[in-house]
Amino acid sequence: MNLFARLKSMKILLVDDDEWIRDSLRIFFEAEGCHIIALETAEEAMEALRGQNFDIIITDYKLPGMDGVEFFRRIQNSHPDTIKILITAYKSEVVVNEARKAGVQHLIAKPFTSEIIEASLTRLTANH
């Protein structure tokens, strides 16, 4: 089964304060028939998680208010089976270690392409 056939049965949450990235990824996934909700802040994402579950969460590291690692830390116990991806331009050893402790399965460095997102999701959803 190809990636987008798998993703069509999954719900994706995207959190990024960069409107261009948020809109580009939302359009990319929607064009493939995927169900995606794109939000600007981790606080909005926390609210969205109160009403529904997501199979995949992709978030930026640097966000206004709560950062992406803290967001993943806060949802780690309540959403242990969710695929968690962190996008960052700040891929230091400290960020990588903190992200792993927060349950992040993959870090994607900025700048990135849709092919990098696809490769990550192909690997992470293969056994999901």
Are 11 and 53 contacting, i.e. CB atoms less than 8 angstroms apart? Answer: yes
The three-class DSSP label of residue 59 is: strand
**pLDDT average per 10 residues of sequence, the chain (128 residues):** 89 97 95 96 97 94 97 95 94 92 95 93 88
Q: What is the CB neighbour count within 10 angstroms for residue 73? A: 17
- State how far Cα 60 lies from the chain centre: 8
pTM of the complete model: 0.95
pLDDT of 127 reads 73
| CATH code, domain with 27 | 3.40.50.2300
Contact 36, 29 (CB under 8 A): yes
Residue 65 near residue 43 (C-beta atoms within 8 A)? yes
Domain that holds residue 68: 3-125
| Total domain count, the chain | 1
What's phi and psi for 23, nearest 5 deg?
-70, -40
Burial class (CB in 10 A: 0-12, 13-18, 19+), 7: buried
**Would you state the pLDDT for residue 1?**
61
